[in-house]
Structure formats: structure tokens, C-alpha cells
Amino acid sequence: MSELIVLGFKDTATADKVVPELQTLQSEGLLELADWARVIRGHDGKIDVRQGTSTTGVGAAGGALWGMLFGLLFLMPLAGLALGAATGAIMGKLTDVGIDDKFIKDVGGQVTPGTSALFLYVVQATTDRVVDRLKQYEPTVIRTSLSHAAEEQLRAAMQTESAT
């Protein structure tokens, strides 16, 4: 079962440092993410969101392919390609998959200025090994969809290393 976990970090740079670690964990088969998002709240209170899944790019590529195929049928492949890419990009932009954008903005607005957070939509994880690798970044568990007991275990596991 997929779970949503939001981790907070004490500065604006740490969340960006964790993203490559997440990619490494995925390539090693220790973690499978359906989606992720990074939120940085600057000292001025402005929120910067970066999402792992870009539906606009995927939509544009798919639309371009289908547009070109239909264009070939009507002997206008370039026009079909352009129209398909534009339509696909628009549809991709309007499609929201993974972590809800409104949820990201709502929780991101609660993040303390001068800090950052990562939203992880976890499909599967080797929990102990993932936690061991993430402890070095001293994350704070902000919110999860885990049971109360599982959330408390995760909080305790993340705090163990930062206390020493």
C-alpha cells in the first residue's frame, strides 16, 4: 500500500541534497516512489515547489507522436506534430497525478521560512535501510498517511541519529 510521507529539513538547501540520494535508493531497489515534490520556503516567505513528475513534458511528447501519426494520414506531418505537441502539453498541464498540488501548497505554507521539505509518495521501501541513509540529513517527520504507531516508529528512527 502506498504511503505519503512529508519530511522537513532545517535549511533551504538540504531537500535538494536529498533528491539525488532518493534516486540512488530507487536505482538500488530499496525505494520505489510514485511521485515526489520538494518545497523550499525562503526567508521572505515565498514558496518554491519542484515536482518529480512533469506531466506537461510527457503530454507534449505523447501528443507530438500522435499528432505526427495523424498528420501523416492527412499528408501534413509537421502540422500534426505541432498541433499534437501543443494539445498534449496542455492536457499534461491540466492532469494532476501523484501528490495533490493543493496539498503540497497547503502544507508548504506551514513550513517555517528558511527551511525546506520533501513530499514522498512511497509505493515500496526497505524501511530500515532507507531510514539509515536519510538520517544524515536530519529530517523531521512533518506528516504521514501511516498509522499512528508506524508514524511514531518512523519519528523515533529518524531522531535516533540526530540526537547523537
Q: Do the beta carbons of residue 22 and residue 36 sit within 8 Å?
A: yes
- What band does 147 get if pLDDT is binned at 50, 70 and 90? confident
d(CA 120, CA 128): 16
pTM, two decimals, is: 0.70
- Condensed to tens digits (0 to 9), the pLDDT of residues 22-69 reads 999 999 999 999 889 999 999 998 988 888 765 445 555 666 665 655
Cα–chain-centroid distance for residue 148?
Answer: 23
- What band does 124 get if pLDDT is binned at 50, 70 and 90? very high
In the chain, % of residues over pLDDT 90:
43
Mean pLDDT value across the chain: 80
Q: What is the CATH number of domain 3-52+97-163?
A: 3.40.1520
- Condensed to tens digits (0 to 9), the pLDDT of residues 58-96 reads 555 666 665 655 665 566 666 666 666 666 666 555 554
* Per-domain boundaries in the chain: 3-52+97-163, 55-94
